[in-house]
Structure formats: structure tokens, C-alpha cells
Amino acid sequence: RLSGGGGGTHTDETLGGDGPQVQSPSSAFCSRTLCFLPSSVMNVISREEYQSTYWPKLESAIEQLLTQSPKDYIPISYEQIYSCVYKCVCQQHSEQMYTDLIGKITRHLQHVSEELKSSPPEHYIEKFNTALTQYMGALQSIVPLFIYMNKFYIETKLNRDLREDLVKLFTDCVAEKHVCTLMPLLLQAHSTPFQITPSTMASIIKGLYALRPDWVQLAPALFSNFIPNILPPAMESQLCEYAAQDQKFQRDLFVHRGAGESVVTTTWGGLTSAHAGQVGVEQIVCFMSAAPSNQV
């Protein structure tokens, strides 16, 4: 306590460390690292209380967010969890909370990876897509819940970002361990029309590219179907090769759909979106004229 004028007293307590700071009520200053706290936050949270009371609440919410699907959605008290994180940050438990969070999610992803290993090839692609989309969806809730820990500990002391750390966890624990198995299955599925839905293929390819852009080198042609401008400019000498590829795709579509008009649109539309800006209009006209007359 600091003596003030007229015999009064002012509280000027600093929580310090990795948490926000509390100034005297007479101070009107509140910066990025300073904020006022309610009196209930002032109660000291011991390490034992954190481990027995606060972390179990957080762990339960994290588990639910990581495992629930939209059809079995169970509401979570975000206000309660947010408040819990806030109090722990103010009481200098950020480091332990971050360690616990990373450990919890790492164990979950290791379990996901083991489940993928035991998946049969015919279900492998769908299982991977489910794991990827479910995890990224969970991060949309987990990261905001830990915003105070991210702001006052991860960004300030570790010079990192929570979401980037959690995305890297998926890359390290799941994607890197399965990409060598996944890519041949994706290439096989891509060469067999309608083996998997286009939305599933697009979701996985875009997801892999977001995790590690250099994975494009594993299958450049496949990635180029879903990620624009990743291939070098097309050369005129390659047009015959493009024509052969598109004509094969067109024949496959005729076999599976028998819809000539939509086939032509899809085939030449694919050329336009992938190569039009690279080969020029006149070359595209020559390319189209090379196709059989009953297909143009």
C-alpha cells in the first residue's frame, strides 16, 4: 500500500510476469499490457488449485471441441472458459497452461494418427479429410478462448502465435506422417473419375498446401487443379500433351456421365482456367481445333 494525500491509501499492485498489470484507481492509463481487473481476480490461484480446479475445466472443453461433430454438438460455456483462462494468465500460470494445452492437443493428434494408420485404403482419404477439417474447425474455437494467453505470453515472451503453433502440431503429428501414404491414393483417385467427391479432393489438396506449400512438388499436376498459378507458364510445345490429357478426361466423362455439352464445357473450361492466361488466345483456338470434330 502506498500512502496518499490526506492520509488515504491507494493500491498499486502489479501481477507482473506473463499477466496483465493493475494500476492504482487514480490512473487513467490502460495500454496493451495494462488493464483493470475485478476484485475476484485478485484471489491468489495456487499451483495446486490450478491443477485441480482450473486446468480440468479447460481440458474438458478442449477435448469436447476436438472430438465433437456438428451432429452431436454440445454447447460450451465460452464465458466460463474465457474467464478461467483470463484468471490463470493474471496469476502467472500462462507457461504451465501453454504446456498443458500443447500436451493435450499433441496426445489427441497422436491418437488421430494411429487411427489413420489402421484405416483401410478405401476409407483412408475420407478419414484424413475428416481429421483435417475437424481439427481446423476446432481451432476456430480454441484459439479465441486462449486469446489472453496468446497476447500476454505466447506473443510477448515466445514471439510466436498460438494458431500457428497448433497448425504446426497437426503438420508434425499427422500430415507429415501420412502424406507419403496419402498422395498415391489421391493420385489414383484423381485418375479414376468420381472415386471421391471433388469437394473432398479440393479440401485435402488445399489443406495440404496450407500446411506445407512445398508439398506441391509431390504431385504438381494434381495440386495445379485446385491451387491457381503454382505451375510455370505453359509452353506452346506442350499443347499437344495438354490436348491428349484433356481428351482422355473427356472420354472418361462421356463414359460416366454421357452428357456431351457439360463435358465440353468442363474440358475446355479446365484448359482456360489452368492455362489461358499463359498460352494466349490464338494458341487456345489452335488447341481446340486439334480435338475431334464431334467433341468441339
DSSP characters for 138-180? HHHHHHHHTHHHIIIIIIIII---HHHHHHHHHIIIIIHHHHH
**Residues 76, 64 contacting (CB under 8 angstroms):** yes
**Residues 256, 193 contacting (CB under 8 angstroms):** yes
At 253 the pLDDT is: 67
Burial class (CB in 10 A: 0-12, 13-18, 19+), 5: exposed
pLDDT digits (tens, 9 = 90+) for 19-34: 444 333 333 333 334 3
At 134 the pLDDT is: 94
Q: Please report, in tens digits, the pLDDT of each residue of the chain (296 residues total).
A: 344 444 444 444 334 445 444 333 333 333 334 344 444 445 789 999 999 999 999 999 999 999 987 677 677 888 999 999 999 999 999 999 999 999 999 999 999 999 999 999 999 999 999 999 999 999 999 999 999 999 999 999 999 999 999 999 999 999 999 999 999 999 999 888 778 999 999 999 999 999 999 999 999 989 998 998 887 776 777 778 777 877 876 777 676 554 444 433 333 334 433 343 344 333 433 334 344 444 43
At 229 the pLDDT is: 85
What phi and psi values does residue 2 have, to the nearest 5 degrees?
A: -110, 130
Could you give the CA distance from residue 226 to residue 199 in angstroms, rounded to a whole number? 10
| Cell 503454382, located at residue | 230
| Cell 488447341, located at residue | 287
Nearest alpha carbon to residue 109 among 162, 71, 149, 63: 63
Number of C-beta neighbours around residue 150 at 10 A: 23
At 152 the pLDDT is: 95
**Residues 155, 89 contacting (CB under 8 angstroms):** no
DSSP characters for 45-67? --HHHIIIIIHHHHHHHHHHHHH
Q: Which residues, in sequence order, are CB contacts of 80 under 8 Å at separation 6+?
A: 57
**Residues 138, 66 contacting (CB under 8 angstroms):** yes
| Per-residue exposure over 109-122, b if at least 16 CB sit within 10 Å of its own CB, e if not | beebbeebeebeee
All domains of the chain in start order, with CATH: 39-224 (1.20.1310.10), 236-295 (no CATH)
Segment holding 10, helix H or strand E? strand 9-10
27 residue type, one letter: S
At 217 the pLDDT is: 92
100 residue type, one letter: D
pLDDT digits (tens, 9 = 90+) for 36-64: 444 444 578 999 999 999 999 999 999 99
Nearest alpha carbon to residue 15 among 97, 86, 101: 86
Number of C-beta neighbours around residue 18 at 10 A: 22
Nearest alpha carbon to residue 264 among 281, 276, 247: 247
